[in-house]
């Protein structure tokens, strides 16, 4: 798979670790920064990955910050993005099965390294189930255009 990644300063180290892991698993990575632990503003990096996924330059995206939360909030502003920040393997799995999540946001300060790998592996390998879940995702997509009037 082609994976776009980015981090702020608080997720930089985790991005580097995960990037190596993805490459050794045979994935193609697009590193969209940041490239050090010097303080930066996470929305600038979330938007880069979100655009790459939304435009289909990348199949999926990964975002890293202190908690995963600011990245997730920002990414979900972009049409076509379904970003999640799971706390455990079960949420990671369901975010693929039911929500077809296309960006995974992880917190370097909040997750143990072992659970990060488990979450990543499950998220990368679990398929979307489609069916009734597809219908619900279509409603979310409509909301992107029409959020003020759709019920």
Contact positions vs ligand RB5 (CB under 6 A): 8, 10, 42, 65-67, 69-70
Nearer to ligand RB5, 31 or 121 (CB): 31
Active site (annotated) includes residue 105? no
The verdict on whether 44 is a catalytic residue reads no
Q: CB of 4 within 8 A of CB of 62?
A: yes
To the nearest whole angstrom, how small is the minimum distance from the Cβ of residue 81 to ligand RB5?
Answer: 16
Nearer to ligand RB5, 7 or 122 (CB): 7
CA distances from 49 to 33, 41, 78, 81, 136 (A): 10, 14, 10, 10, 24
Taking the complex as a whole, the smallest distance from the CB of residue 66 to ligand RB5 amounts, in Å, to: 3
CA–CA dist 130, 98 (Å, integer): 7
Provide CB contacts within 8 A for 150, sequence distance 6+: 139, 142, 143
Which entry of 9, 65, 72, 105 is annotated as an active-site residue?
A: 65
**Residue number closest to ligand RB5, CB atom:** 70
- Characterise 27 by phi-psi region: left (phi > 0), alpha (psi -120 to 50), beta (else): beta
65 versus 101: smaller Cβ distance to ligand RB5:
65
- Catalytic positions: 65, 98
């Amino acid at each position: 798979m082609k994976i776009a990644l980015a981090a702020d300063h608080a997720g930089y180290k985790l991005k580097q670790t995960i990037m190596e892991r993805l490459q050794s698993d045979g994935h193609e990575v697009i590193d969209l920064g940041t490239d050090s632990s010097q303080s930066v503003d996470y929305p600038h990096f979330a938007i880069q990955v979100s655009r790459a996924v939304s435009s289909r330059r990348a199949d999926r995206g990964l975002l890293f910050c202190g908690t995963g939360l600011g990245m997730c909030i920002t990414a979900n502003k972009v049409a076509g993005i379904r970003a999640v920040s799971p706390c455990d393997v079960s949420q990671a799995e369901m975010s693929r099965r039911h929500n077809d999540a296309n960006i995974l946001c992880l917190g370097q300060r909040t997750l143990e390294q072992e659970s990060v790998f488990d979450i990543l592996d499950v998220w990368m390998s679990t398929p979307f189930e489609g069916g009734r879940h597809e219908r619900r995702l279509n409603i979310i997509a409509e909301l992107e255009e029409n959020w003020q009037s759709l019920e």
